[in-house]
């Protein structure tokens, strides 16, 4: 059959049942003008590791499987907002064309949503300088005029932006941003040193009220000459120098000496003490190191004025260290310089002040570089020093001084290494000092370290070795990690408790880095919670170290490795709790938005790993409870904050209907209760594995382990699902009791800020003092 022109008529194409492929393309494929598939997460986005977003515009359409296209308010597509400028121009254009305001309000809204849902104008093939507001005036002709209910439903979803959806309270986000979040300095912000200057009346109230100290250390009093040296440092390097007032308003030598004695008292019982008290002399001490010790002691003080003074003086010491090291590079290799920098980094890290914490991060990087380039991390810089059998007192004294200096170097490096581990967990970053670099010898036992004279040091050394010899340079942390069984074979002159502590906490940075790497690469996958590997897929070597350390701690007495047992529990917690996602929920959106964190945590909360993280959260509280008050440090308080925060997340999502979970959790039996801060039992294992049971926290969480066993406080419980007075109020109260100044005789600034965050989250409504 032909037409009038002698050509066959064109075949009439049948209507396709499938919608156009371009309408099914995700935003990324549409922008790149490439073919897209029908999967919810297309293969191209999955290969590139990016989020697959499908914007359907104003209209839903049926696909070839009979379902509706995915709405914008799903977890894969963030909500869109309308550009105010586009709407205003479009309204003015419509008014000029005489279009009714009522019809325009409906139709233009949908069309602007269509433009906003696709993002840029080049999706439609327009030039980058094309004014898309012209198209808005055509909305009544391009869109339907009667979309009634559809407009009402979709208008709400388009107006909700992911940043406007507060999954935590505004107060909690604000407190987090001002304490643990990323620091955003204002224009002209700098260090404040007003707290260095204290009136005479206030100084009188500080004497004898700053904290307990050992009276045997009263001989280490501060002289007027040393105070004048500190006054000179303050006058020269203070951000806002008060030259006339510095000499009179700076605390007296008595007060500064008391601050120094508070610090030295802590050094006596510290397993990683760095100041050799038997050879320490205030008169011979470097002024920078002396100021650093005074600032550290003041920061530990229970008196608020003394604490503020300590942090302000620490800022001055940091600036002097940087300037003096730049003027004379040889100073950076001295023991006093390295010790002062170590104290400044540690003091600022737990100050609770964002600016000081960031300065501590920068200073720690410099110190790590100094230690590496000066070879203080390696055994080549150390030699074996032993007392001579037949020698005069003068030679023995010189050997003792040399041994004390070398031992101080070893303890300072190991203390900074422990600080780097804690910083890695606190800031969720890799450690600047890897464990394989720690080839320097391990420190000797505390009996040798605290020997009061050269004669006692020589006598103690002979009693420990019993006439035998040993290779002091052959035993290092790196060697212990290569074969953990070496720890059990250490010579008697080495502290095995110290070696177990360092080996147990060395796994923490590896877990933190593996966790962040896994979450950043796999969290975009919808089924990521079903494919989480144990311990975030760390290497086999690290797993072997982890298991060997656990075996040593389980096989020996509990009292001998209490601090190391805490790190073991914290590592178990890190291996199961996605804390970077929880931080994103609070506002630390480095890798994920708060909305993404909310959706991912909701799918995680019903899994076996979530119950394991909840169990180890309770075990952290139990491990801190077992620590003696003098051993409780800032990092222990931060670990309690993370534990309670994890419990809050688990309790938050357990209040949701079961259909919102992934269906793994089974209904709990009424008669079974699992105390997550108690000893491990068969019931606790069943709850972790199958979800059978009701978890609770003992109201005696702040009491010591012996108190819990000898009293009936354990019968008073707090269920995680109880929401009448705040599910975890008692756990928070007990944490505050554990770290109260009355118990620990010191102050924890970081804990005050973390408690503010926890109370602002909404699960801690009852306020107690």
> Residue 152, exposed/middle/buried by CB under 10 A (0-12, 13-18, 19+)?
exposed
pLDDT of residue 178: 82
Please tell me which residue, 762 or 567, carries the higher pLDDT value: 567
Tell me whether residue 98 is exposed, middle or buried, using C-beta atoms within 10 angstroms of its C-beta: 0 to 12, 13 to 18, 19 or more. exposed
Q: How far apart are CA 374 and CA 516, in angstroms?
A: 31
**Residues sharing a CB contact under 8 Å with residue 327, sequence separation 6 or more, in sequence order:** none
pLDDT digits (tens, 9 = 90+) for 34-55: 778 766 678 778 777 677 877 6
Q: What is the C-alpha separation between 763 and 621, in angstroms, rounded?
A: 18
* Mean pLDDT within 233-244: 68
Give the pLDDT band of residue 96 (cuts 50, 70, 90).
very low
Helix (H) or strand (E) segment spanning residue 718:
strand 717-719
pLDDT grade, residue 14 (50/70/90)?
A: low
Write down the pLDDT at residue 559: 66
Mean pLDDT, range 331-344, rounded to an integer: 96
Supply the pLDDT for residue 7: 58
Tens digits of per-residue pLDDT, 296-330? Answer: 999 999 999 999 999 999 999 999 999 999 999 99
Mean pLDDT over residues 117-124, rounded?
Answer: 37
C-alpha distances in Å from residue 214, one per residue of 279, 294, 315, 749 = 17, 15, 27, 23
CB 267 within 8 A of CB 273: yes
Task: Quickly count: other Cβ atoms within 10 Å of residue 737's Cβ.
Answer: 13
> pTM score > 0.85 for this model?
no
User: Which of the listed ranges 185-194, 398-407, 489-498 does the model predict with the highest average pLDDT?
Assistant: 398-407
Where is average pLDDT lowest: 287-296, 390-399, 668-677? 668-677
Q: What is the residue whose two structure tokens read 């052959």?
A: 474
Residue 194: is its pLDDT beyond 70? yes
| Range of 44-58, 363-377, 383-397, 638-652 with top mean pLDDT | 363-377
Q: What is the pLDDT of residue 596?
A: 84
Query: What pLDDT is recorded for position 327?
Result: 93
Q: Are strands 717-719 and 694-698 parallel, antiparallel or unpaired?
A: antiparallel
More confident residue, 145 or 231: 231
The three-class DSSP label of residue 511 is helix
pLDDT tens per residue across span 429-476: 999 999 999 999 999 999 999 999 999 999 998 888 775 556 666 789
Average pLDDT, the chain: 76
Mean pLDDT of 750-759: 88
Query: Which tens digit of pLDDT belongs to each residue from 473-510?
Result: 678 999 999 999 899 888 888 988 899 999 999 999 99
The predicted-structure confidence for 544-595, as pLDDT tens digits, reads as follows 888 888 888 887 766 678 999 999 999 999 989 999 999 888 888 778 888 8
How do residues 679-717 score in pLDDT, each as one tens digit? 999 989 999 988 888 888 876 544 545 444 433 333 334
Per DSSP, 76 falls in state S
């Amino acid at each position: 059959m032909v037409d009038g022109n002698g050509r066959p008529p064109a075949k009439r194409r049948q209507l396709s049942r499938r919608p156009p492929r371009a309408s099914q393309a995700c935003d990324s494929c549409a922008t790149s003008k490439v073919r897209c598939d029908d999967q919810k997460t297309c293969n191209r986005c999955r290969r590139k590791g990016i989020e697959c977003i499908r914007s359907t515009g104003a209209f839903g359409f049926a696909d070839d499987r009979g379902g509706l296209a995915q709405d914008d308010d799903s977890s894969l597509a963030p909500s869109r907002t309308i550009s105010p400028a586009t709407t205003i121009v479009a309204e003015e254009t419509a008014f000029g064309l005489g279009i009714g305001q009522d019809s325009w309000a409906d139709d233009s809204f949908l069309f602007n949503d269509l433009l906003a849902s696709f993002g840029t104008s080049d999706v439609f093939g327009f030039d980058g300088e094309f004014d898309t507001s012209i198209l808005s005036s055509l909305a009544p002709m391009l869109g339907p005029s009667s979309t009634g209910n559809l407009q009402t439903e979709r208008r709400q979803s388009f107006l909700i932006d992911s940043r406007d959806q507060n999954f935590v309270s505004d107060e909690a986000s604000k407190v987090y941003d001002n304490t643990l979040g990323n620091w955003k300095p204002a224009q002209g912000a700098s260090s404040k040193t007003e707290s260095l200057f204290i009136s005479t009346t206030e100084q009188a109230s500080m004497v004898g009220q700053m904290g307990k100290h050992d009276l045997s250390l009263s001989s280490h009093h501060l002289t007027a000459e040393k105070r004048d040296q500190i006054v000179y440092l303050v006058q020269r390097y203070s951000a806002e120098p008060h030259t006339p007032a510095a000499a009179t308003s700076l605390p007296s030598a008595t007060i500064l000496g008391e601050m120094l004695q508070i610090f030295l008292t802590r050094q006596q019982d510290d397993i990683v003490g760095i100041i050799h008290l038997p050879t320490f002399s205030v008169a011979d001490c470097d002024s920078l190191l002396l100021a650093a010790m005074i600032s550290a002691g003041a920061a530990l003080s229970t008196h608020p004025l003394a604490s503020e003074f300590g942090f302000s003086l620490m800022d001055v010491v940091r600036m002097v260290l940087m300037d003096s090291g730049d003027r004379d590079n040889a100073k950076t290799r001295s023991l006093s310089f390295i010790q002062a920098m170590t104290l400044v980094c540690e003091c600022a890290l737990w100050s609770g002040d964002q600016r000081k914490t960031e300065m501590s991060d920068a200073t720690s990087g410099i110190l790590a570089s100094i230690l590496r380039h000066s070879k203080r991390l390696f055994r080549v810089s150390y030699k074996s020093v032993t007392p001579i059998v037949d020698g005069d007192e003068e030679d023995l004294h010189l050997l003792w001084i040399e041994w004390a200096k070398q031992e101080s170097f070893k303890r300072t490096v190991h203390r900074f290494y422990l600080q780097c581990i804690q910083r890695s967990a606190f800031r969720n970053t890799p450690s600047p000092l890897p464990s394989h670099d720690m080839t320097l010898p391990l420190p000797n036992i505390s009996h040798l370290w605290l020997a009061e004279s050269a004669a006692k040091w020589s006598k103690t050394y002979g009693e420990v070795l019993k006439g035998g010899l040993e290779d002091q340079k052959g035993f290092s942390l790196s060697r212990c990690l290569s074969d953990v069984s070496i720890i059990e074979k250490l010579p008697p002159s080495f502290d095995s408790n110290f070696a177990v502590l360092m080996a147990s906490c060395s796994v923490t940075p590896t877990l933190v880095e593996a966790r962040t790497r896994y979450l950043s690469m796999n969290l975009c996958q919808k089924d990521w919670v079903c494919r989480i590997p144990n311990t975030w897929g760390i290497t086999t070597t690290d797993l072997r170290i982890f298991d060997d350390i656990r075996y040593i701690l389980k096989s020996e007495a509990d009292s001998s490795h209490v601090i190391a047992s805490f790190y073991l529990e914290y590592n178990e917690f890190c291996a199961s709790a996605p804390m970077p996602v929880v931080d994103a929920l609070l506002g630390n959106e480095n890798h994920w938005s708060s909305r993404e964190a909310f959706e991912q945590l909701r799918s995680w909360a019903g899994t076996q790993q979530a119950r394991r993280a909840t169990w180890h959260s309770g075990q952290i509280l139990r491990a801190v409870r077992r620590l003696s008050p003098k051993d409780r440090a800032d990092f222990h308080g931060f670990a309690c904050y993370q534990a309670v925060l994890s419990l809050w997340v688990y309790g938050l999502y357990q209040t949701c209907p079961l259909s919102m979970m992934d269906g793994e959790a089974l209904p709990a039996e009424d008669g079974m209760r699992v105390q997550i801060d108690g000893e491990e039992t068969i019931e606790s294992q069943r709850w972790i594995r199958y979800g059978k049971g009701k978890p609770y926290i003992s109201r005696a969480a702040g009491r010591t382990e012996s108190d819990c066993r000898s009293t009936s406080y354990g019968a008073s419980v707090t269920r995680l699902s109880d929401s009448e007075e705040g599910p975890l109020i008692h756990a928070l109260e007990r944490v505050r009791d554990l770290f109260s100044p009355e118990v620990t005789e010191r102050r924890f600034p970081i804990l005050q800020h973390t408690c503010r965050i926890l109370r602002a989250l909404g699960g801690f409504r009852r306020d107690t003092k």
